[in-house]
């Protein structure tokens, strides 16, 4: 799924779009357009013109009321929609990782990566829940800011899970490649002199297979390293927020500053 954006800028854009497309706003705007068009095209007198002006005015009034006075309601709906999408994606991803990691347990040459993946699977959840608890200690759960920050934290947590799912898929792709067999066979072939065409072809085939496995292992290592970076950022953000004193006027600005790096990391997740 496309990574959701819980940032204030993205939320403001979504609210602007939703209030402009509100049924009442669109309805009155349509009346205004038809009234103005009828007056201009058919010379029906002042009534269509008044209808056009009235429709346009009501459309503008509807938008002003929604955007200026009901903005928090629309923003909360937007955040809730993103949260629901993310929660559904998280449940499905967790199920897949748990199932597929179990299937890979004990596979020769893959144990280390399975163990690190399992560790990250559990520790990333702990870090997300820890940050959520700290946010609850600083903000009311009914506040829009709390929901937005929590969504950003969950987005980073989901990036870790999505990366782990990619690790699982990469491990599955090289599961049939027996590195012990390849190395033993290459050793035997390299000792043969002179080599036949069949021997040379087998060497090339085995080396291609070995390179493929090495490339996947390198990718797995990079993904696991990115996950460590994400978990460190969750730790750093939690520690920064925990040090803030509740009730001071700078708290909200401090939270914005503390969450900025986390938001930046969340925006980079699609490149992992």
Give tens-digit pLDDT for 155-165: 899 999 999 99
- Say if 260 falls within a structural domain: yes
Q: Given this model, what pLDDT does residue 249 score?
A: 45
Q: What is the mean predicted confidence (pLDDT) over 91-101?
A: 89
User: 10 pLDDT band (50/70/90 cuts)?
Assistant: confident
- Say if 19 falls within a structural domain: no
Euclidean distance between CA atoms 12 and 33, whole angstroms: 27
Euclidean distance between CA atoms 152 and 146, whole angstroms: 10
Give tens-digit pLDDT for 141-154: 888 888 888 888 98
- Say if 27 falls within a structural domain: no
* Class of residue 36 by CB neighbours under 10 A (exposed 0-12, middle 13-18, buried 19+): middle
Residue with tokens 């036949």: 196
Q: Given this model, what pLDDT does residue 56 score?
A: 76
At residue 2, the 3 state secondary structure works out as coil
- Say if 254 falls within a structural domain: yes
Give tens-digit pLDDT for 100-124: 888 888 888 888 999 999 999 999 9
**Which DSSP state fits 250?**
T
Euclidean distance between CA atoms 170 and 163, whole angstroms: 10
Q: Given this model, what pLDDT does residue 109 score?
A: 82
Whole-Å CA distances, 225 to 118, 132, 240, 272: 14, 23, 23, 10
Euclidean distance between CA atoms 239 and 231, whole angstroms: 12
Q: Given this model, what pLDDT does residue 271 score?
A: 47
Q: What is the mean predicted confidence (pLDDT) over 60-66?
A: 78
Q: Given this model, what pLDDT does residue 43 score?
A: 58
Which tokens sit at 35? 């009234």
Euclidean distance between CA atoms 108 and 246, whole angstroms: 52
Least confident stretch, 136-145, 234-243, 249-258: 249-258
Give tens-digit pLDDT for 187-244: 899 888 888 899 899 999 999 999 999 999 999 999 999 999 999 999 988 888 888 7
Task: Classify 22 in phi/psi space as left (phi over 0), alpha (psi -120 to 50) or beta.
Answer: beta
Which tokens sit at 196? 């036949």
Q: Given this model, what pLDDT does residue 272 score?
A: 43
Find out whether the peptide bond into 194 is cis, omega within 30 degrees of 0. yes
Q: Given this model, what pLDDT does residue 50 score?
A: 66
Euclidean distance between CA atoms 227 and 161, whole angstroms: 9
- Say if 80 falls within a structural domain: no
Of the two residues 254 and 6, the one the predictor is more confident about is: 6
Q: What is the mean predicted confidence (pLDDT) over 238-254?
A: 67
Report how many domains make up the chain.
Answer: 1
Q: Given this model, what pLDDT does residue 212 score?
A: 92
pLDDT at 69 over 80: no
Q: Sign of the CA dihedral 224, 229, 234, 235?
A: positive
Percent of the chain's residues with pLDDT above 70: 85
Q: Indicate the length of the chain as a whole number.
A: 272
Which tokens sit at 54? 């009235």
261: Cβ–Cβ under 8 A, 6 or more apart, which residues? 233, 236, 237
- Say if 33 falls within a structural domain: no
Q: What is the mean predicted confidence (pLDDT) over 6-30?
A: 80
Least confident stretch, 84-98, 228-242, 258-272: 258-272
- Which residue range forms the structural domain that includes residue 245? 105-270
Of the two residues 167 and 58, the one the predictor is more confident about is: 167
- Say if 119 falls within a structural domain: yes
- Say if 225 falls within a structural domain: yes
């Amino acid at each position: 799924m496309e990574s959701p954006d819980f940032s204030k800028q993205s939320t403001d854009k979504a609210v602007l779009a939703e209030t402009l497309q509100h049924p009442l706003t669109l309805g009155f705007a349509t009346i205004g357009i038809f009234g103005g068009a009828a007056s201009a095209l058919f010379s029906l007198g002042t009534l269509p013109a008044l209808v056009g002006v009235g429709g346009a005015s009501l459309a503008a009034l509807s938008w002003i009321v929604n955007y200026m006075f009901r903005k928090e309601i629309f923003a909360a709906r937007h955040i809730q929609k993103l949260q629901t999408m993310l929660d559904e994606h998280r449940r499905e991803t967790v199920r897949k990782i748990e199932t597929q990691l179990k299937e890979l347990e004990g596979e020769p040459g893959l144990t280390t990566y399975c163990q690190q993946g399992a560790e990250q699977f559990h520790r990333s959840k702990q870090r997300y829940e820890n940050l959520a608890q700290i946010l609850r200690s600083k903000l009311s759960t009914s506040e829009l800011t709390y929901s937005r920050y929590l969504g950003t934290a969950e987005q980073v947590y989901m990036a870790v899970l999505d990366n782990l799912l990619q690790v699982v898929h990469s491990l599955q792709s090289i599961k049939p490649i027996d590195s012990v067999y390849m190395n033993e066979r290459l050793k035997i072939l390299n000792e043969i002199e002179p080599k036949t065409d069949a021997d040379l072809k087998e060497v090339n085939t085995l080396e291609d297979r070995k390179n493929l496995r090495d490339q996947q292992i390198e990718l797995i290592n990079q993904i696991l390293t990115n996950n460590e970076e994400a978990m460190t950022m969750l730790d750093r953000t939690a520690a920064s927020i925990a040090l803030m004193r509740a009730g001071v006027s700078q708290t909200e600005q401090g939270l914005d500053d503390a969450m900025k790096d986390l938001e930046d990391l969340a925006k980079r997740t699609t490149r992992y």
